[in-house]
Amino acid sequence: MPITGQTLLSHVDYSAWANQVLLSACSTLTPEELNRDLKASHISILRTLRHIYYTERVWLKRLQADSLPPLIEIGDQQLFRDPSPEPDLQQLQQAWPAVSEGLHQYVESLSEADITGELRGIDCTILRWKLLLHMVNHSTLHRGQVTSMLRQLGKHPPNTDLFSYYLLHP
């Protein structure tokens, strides 16, 4: 399945935009609301936002290193999250743009051969474009969970839909 660098860049930029829209919406929440156990996969809004941030950050590092870790380590968040105290919402708002810019620059620097090339590990291999689309999809999944948690709190979540991004960024 051929995919262009421009398509990948558009998706990475969409994800960065959606992350910022969601962070902005969450900035109106109280610390109690951010940390409340809402029975979601990552417990609370803040923990889910951290999860998205950590995974984008670790995938960027892996892409830049042109290497995958052993398969058993890929989903183990204990290996790549920050030590306690973990970042609060304001710290995420400050740190996340550098990760998003790093992903943008990474994708922008890829040749067409790089895009369809493989990222290899000891016991697994994946095409770069598939990994990049996985990253966007993973973040979208968890942004949707935060949207649901905002609704559980009686809040009106922002629109982070890809269609809306396309309308705002033709």
User: What is the token pair recorded at 42?
Assistant: 């990552």
Given its phi and psi angles, is residue 37 left (phi above 0), alpha (psi -120 to 50 degrees) or beta?
A: beta
Asked if residues 48 and 135 have their Cβ atoms less than 8 Å apart, the reply is: no
pLDDT in tens, 112-142: 999 999 999 999 999 999 999 999 999 999 9
Answer yes or no: pTM beyond 0.85. Answer: yes
User: What is the token pair recorded at 117?
Assistant: 């090339």
CA angle 82, 72, 49 (to 5 degrees): 35
Confidence at residue 2, expressed as pLDDT on a 0 to 100 scale: 74
Query: In the predicted model, is pLDDT for residue 27 greater than 70?
Result: yes
Place of tokens 């304001």: 90
Confidence at residue 1, expressed as pLDDT on a 0 to 100 scale: 61
State whether residue 40 is helix, strand or coil: strand
Confidence at residue 69, expressed as pLDDT on a 0 to 100 scale: 94
The closest of 8, 11, 95, 106 to 49, measured between CA atoms, is: 95
For domain 5-168, give its CATH number from 3.40.50.1110, 1.10.357.10, 1.20.120.450, 3.30.70.2340. 1.20.120.450
pLDDT in tens, 55-81: 999 999 999 999 999 999 998 888 889
Domain spans, the chain:
5-168
Torsion of CA 124, 130, 133, 138, to 10 degrees: -30
pLDDT in tens, 81-118: 999 999 999 999 999 999 999 999 999 999 999 999 99
Confidence at residue 78, expressed as pLDDT on a 0 to 100 scale: 86
Asked if residues 147 and 49 have their Cβ atoms less than 8 Å apart, the reply is: no
Please compute the mean of the pLDDT values over residues 37-53 and round it to a whole number. Answer: 97
